[in-house]
Structure 1
Amino acid sequence: METNHDWNAKLYDRKLAFVSGYGESLLDALRPRPGETVLDVGCGTGDLAKRIADAGAAVVGLDASPAMIEEARRKYPGLDFRVARAEAFALERQADAVFSNAALHWVTDAAGAAACMFAAAKPGGRLVAEFGGRGNVGAIVEAVETVLQDRFGIDAAARNPWYFPSVGEYASLLEDAGWEVSYAELYDRPTPLDGEDGLLAWLTAFAAPFFAGLSDADAARAKADVQDALAPRLFDEKNRVWTADYRRLRVAARKPSA
């Protein structure tokens, strides 16, 4: 998981495990094979890297967060995990495939990431990735921006840490880096969060840059106001569960053989 803020890896695994869970279907698109090398960009705490290794591939997991890599190494000590940014890394040997789940929307230098991933792939190597696309968590972002402006006079839009591209925008960016794009789809994926405090955990883990500089008390009040604003749209009173308004962009591409 690429990021511009420090991660609480324990909270991530305890309350936000759905991130890796939804990545299971992306592994079906990757189809890792025994004997090949797969680069996992934004590997988080390593759960999907472990699944790739279980398929017989050698996996290298990269993440910008030292806390995430520390937890990944603790959980899966036999795998290769490294602290590195998606837009600024190099491998000693090229990989057969590059994989990334729920990470690239944290990388604002998207062109740099596309170029690094291209350089890391062997000729003929493949890329399979999924991350937030145009309109992702639009209701949540709108509520955060309104609350921070009204309560604190903060321009939250200037603090937005995410890159949510359209299909055309990202496909063109990959092609500019040299990739041949074979598939790109933007789709709605409403995502249930864990428990009645699921939105609070989500805001704490993923939206921290918006609340930077606020006291703990002010941040707590702001998050409570965000929850109040979103409850009519995103909270199921009967089942006592929040559903985040996710939109995902899934892409597949290949590096030309020659």
Structure 2
Amino acid sequence: MNNLLIPNNDWDSNLYENKHAFVWQYGEDLLKLLNPKPGESILDLGCGTGQLTEKIALTGAEVLGIDSAPAMIEKARQNYPHLRFEVADARNFQVKEPIDAVFSNAALHWVKEADAAIACVHQALKSGGRFIAEFGGKGNIQAILQALYNALAAFNIPTEGLNPWYFPSIGEYATLLEKQGFDVTYAILFDRPTPLAEGEAGIANWMQMFAGTFLVGLSAEQQTQVTRAIEEYLKPTLYHKGTWTVGYRRIRIVAIKG
């Protein structure tokens, strides 16, 4: 397996586990679509700290978790030392033998080069193998993105090239899959309003965890100012009775290698 890293991919695995457990908790529904069987070979693409990888393994499947963030893989190995985890890039990975399924929860919206990721998934699967994925879709976190751009513009901070995300429509992503030889058998785009932990600090924690690329290069004081501006902008709509709720929209896909 190629161990190609994304530069500066310095995820805070403790913040992820302690404050953002919803990332894998919501992914448990996706496991039902995967429906892993004993003895199957399954790749968990973008496995994070390994919680869903372990749930797949508990079904008796042989599972490998990969993630591009070394900190995540290190934490996954600590959490589940009996399972296999490797640092690898979704855009450039290979498996030694074709596998039965590729599973991916809340990872592919970080991969702008969707064609490269889909090609790797296709190559990894046996004929008839399945690709089960969920990630941010069209309209995901729209209010937060608008607030980010507004706040940065107010401080005269350039925003070009800062957005790390890829939020496609169903039509766009299904077309990419079909072009590379997949049959898309299930696709849905749905709203999932997601409450954040830690009360009033919720959106600041979220920003620190997921939106760091927008704040790179800013002083600590500037980061605080931008975060406060975003909180003020979003509070009337996203903050209610002591809890921030993020407007997630998710795409869920099942595709079969032809």
For residues 118 and 80 of structure 1, what CA distance do their matches in structure 2 show? 21
For residues 179 and 225 of structure 1, what CA distance do their matches in structure 2 show? 44
- 2:29 partner letter: S
Q: Select 2:122's aligned residue among 118, 121, 124.
A: 118
C-alpha contact 1:42 1:61 (8 A) present in aligned 2:
yes
> For structure 2, which runs of at least 5 residues remain unmatched after alignment?
none
Bigger drift between 6-15 and 216-225 goes to 216-225
For residues 245 and 181 of structure 1, what CA distance do their matches in structure 2 show? 26
- 1:11 partner letter: L
Shift of 1:156: 2.3
C-alpha contact 1:111 1:173 (8 A) present in aligned 2:
yes
Aligned to 2:51: 47
Q: TM-score, normalization: structure 2?
A: 0.95
Paired-residue identity, %: 50
Q: Select 1:193's aligned residue among 193, 196, 213.
A: 196
Shift of 1:95: 1.2
Aligned to 1:251: 253
- 1:37 partner letter: S
Secondary structure of 1:231's aligned partner: helix
Shift of 1:198: 1.3
Shift of 1:225: 1.1
For residues 42 and 163 of structure 1, what CA distance do their matches in structure 2 show? 15
- 1:156 partner letter: T
For residues 34 and 128 of structure 1, what CA distance do their matches in structure 2 show? 17
Bigger drift between 8-17 and 218-227 goes to 218-227
Secondary structure of 1:222's aligned partner: helix
- 2:98 partner letter: Q
Shift of 1:155: 3.0
Aligned to 1:166: 169
Aligned to 1:140: 144
Aligned to 1:80: 84
C-alpha contact 2:11 2:71 (8 A) present in aligned 1:
yes
Aligned to 1:65: 69
C-alpha contact 2:39 2:61 (8 A) present in aligned 1:
yes
The answer as to 2:159 corresponding to 1:156 is: yes
For residues 160 and 23 of structure 2, what CA distance do their matches in structure 1 show? 24
For residues 211 and 118 of structure 1, what CA distance do their matches in structure 2 show? 35
C-alpha contact 2:196 2:245 (8 A) present in aligned 1:
yes
Shift of 1:154: 2.1
For residues 113 and 256 of structure 2, what CA distance do their matches in structure 1 show? 21
Secondary structure of 2:161's aligned partner: helix
How many residues end up aligned between the 2 structures?
252
- 1:220 partner letter: T
Spell out structure 1 runs of 4+ moving beyond 6 A: none
Shift of 1:109: 0.5
CA deviation string 1:45-100 (max 9, x = no partner): 00000000011101111100000000000100111101001010001111100000
Q: TM-score, normalization: structure 1?
A: 0.95
CA deviation string 1:161-190 (max 9, x = no partner): 000000000000011111110011111111
